[in-house]
Amino acid sequence: MTHTAAPQQVDTILHCRWIIPVVPSATVLQDCSLVIAAGKILALLPQAEASRRFSAKDTLQLDRHIVIPGLVNSHNHAAMSLFKGMADDLPLQDWLEHHIWPAEKQWISPRFVADGTELAAAEMIRSGTTTFSDMYFYPEEVARVAMHAGLRCQLAFPVLDFPTPWGTGPDDYLHKGLALHDKFRSHSTISVGFGPHAPYTVSDEPLQRIATIAEEMQAAIQIHLHETAAEIDNALAQTGERPIQRLQRLGLLSPLTQCVHMTQLDAADIELLANSGAHVIHCPSSNLKLASGFCPVQDLLDAGVNVALGTDSAASNNDQDLLAEMNLAALLAKGVSARADAVDAHTALRMATLNGARALGLEQQIGSLEVGKQADITAIEVNETRNMPLYNPASLLAYSNISNQVSHVWVNGRNLLKQGQLQTLNETGIRANASYWQQRIGKPQAPRA
C-alpha cells in the first residue's frame, strides 16, 4: 500500500497569475505560488504542486495580479508629507533656506513627526512600499510609527553643524543617534545609521568622527551629495575639492555609504564611486522638480555602481509613490543617455527592490522573492481596461501608472494592505491629523518673485 504524505501546514499560500521574483533576473513566472511560513518564503513553485504539498491557514487566489518583492524606498523624509505643496517651483537653496528650514524651526515637534510619518506610511503601503529609509528629526517617533504600521525602516539620524528642533549641534546629534542605535541594535525591522545632511552643512571634524564610528559599528551612512551644480561650484571655490573627493579624503566613502541625488557627476566621480563600493540613491521626481539636474544612471550601472530609488520627501516630490519613481527613472535614463535600451523594465524594478535592499544592507533578507527570504511582498491587480492587452507584465509595471491598483502588501508575511484596505493604520485618524496640521500651519505663502 502506498501512503501519500499529508500536506505540510503553512501560514499562507499565494496562487499568482504572474510573479516577477527579480532573482533570477529578467524572469516572469506564470501560474506559480508563493508559500509563506513563519514570516519567510518557504517555497516558490507551480500552483498544482503547491496545492498538493502544502495546506495553509490563508490561501489567496491572485489570478489577476502581478506579484513582486515589496518596494524599497531608499531615501525619504517622511514627516515632511505635512509640508506637501508648501514651496513649489523654487530652486533647492531658496526652497531650503527661505521656506523649509524656517517652517521646520516653527513647526517641528514629536507630534508633527509622528503624524507626518503616519501619513507617509499610509501612502507608501498603498503604493506597494514595504521598506523605507528616513532621514529626519525625532527619529524615535519615526521608529514608533514604522513599527506600528508594520513597515521595515532604516533610520539615518540627522547630523548638522547648526541647531535644529532635535539637537544643538554635532555632539548632541551623535549622542542621541548612538543611543537610538543601541536601543534598536537587535530589532528585526528597524536599523539605525548616520545621516550627515550634506557636505555643505557638516564640517570635517564630525564627518571624520562619523566615518570612524560607522566603520567600527558597520552602520550605514546616508548623505545628500552632488545634488546641484551650485554645490560643486561652491565647494571648488572654497576648498578646491569636489564634495565627493572631500568625502573620500575624510574616509566617508565606502560600501556603507548611501549617496543621495548625485546629479552632477563626471567620469572621475563615477570611477571613485565604483572603486569605493558606495551606493547611489536616485530621486528623479525631486531632482526634476527642484531643477537640480540629471543623475547619469546608466553610466553608473555600466560602471558597476549599485543604484537604488527614493522618493525624497513629499515636500519636494508631492507623493510617496515608488512605482512612479520607477517609471520616471526608466524614461529619464533613456533621455539622459540617448539610449532606448537604458534602464529597461526589469532593471527599473531591480532598482526599486533588490538594489535598494543592497544599499540598505538588507539584500540577504529582502528585495527578491527567493526561498529563505522574508515575505515582503506586493501584489498589483491588473484587470482594468487600460491594462489590456497584457503581453509583458514587467513593461506594464515600468511604463504605466498602476500604483493605485496595488491590492495587497505583506511584510514578514503580515498583511499591511488587504483588498486595498489598510490593516495596521487608522486612515480616519490619519486624515484628521493631516487636517489639523493643514489648519494650524495655514495657507503657505506664494513664492517670492
Q: In the predicted model, is pLDDT for residue 126 greater than 50?
A: yes
3-state helix, strand, coil in the chain (%, to 5): 40, 25, 35
CA distance 146 to 192: 13
CA distance 377 to 369: 8
Alpha helices in 184-338 (DSSP H): 204-217, 229-239, 243-249, 267-276, 284-289, 297-302, 322-337
Q: Which cell numbers in the block locate residue 15?
A: 496562487
Q: Is the CB of residue 367 less than 8 Å from the CB of residue 361?
A: no
| Burial classification of residue 73, based on how many CB atoms lie within 10 Å of its CB (0-12 exposed, 13-18 middle, 19 or more buried) | buried
**Better-predicted residue by pLDDT, 442 or 69:** 69
Q: Which residues contact 149 (CB under 8 A, 6 or more apart)?
A: 118, 121, 122, 125, 416, 424, 425
Please give the share of the chain, as a percent, with pLDDT higher than 90: 92
For residue range 258-268, list pLDDT tens digits in order: 999 999 999 99
Q: What is the largest CA-CA distance in the chain?
A: 88
Name the pLDDT band for 3 (thresholds 50, 70, 90): low
Check residue 393 and give its pLDDT.
Answer: 98
Q: Which cell numbers in the block locate residue 219?
A: 552602520
Q: Is the CB of residue 356 less than 8 Å from the CB of residue 72?
A: yes
Q: In the predicted model, is pLDDT for residue 30 greater than 50?
A: yes
For residue range 187-208, list pLDDT tens digits in order: 999 999 999 999 999 999 999 9
Domains of the chain and CATH, by start = 8-69+375-418 (2.30.40.10), 71-359 (3.20.20.140)
Phi, psi for 189 (deg, rounded to 5): -125, -5
For residue range 7-26, list pLDDT tens digits in order: 999 999 999 999 999 999 99
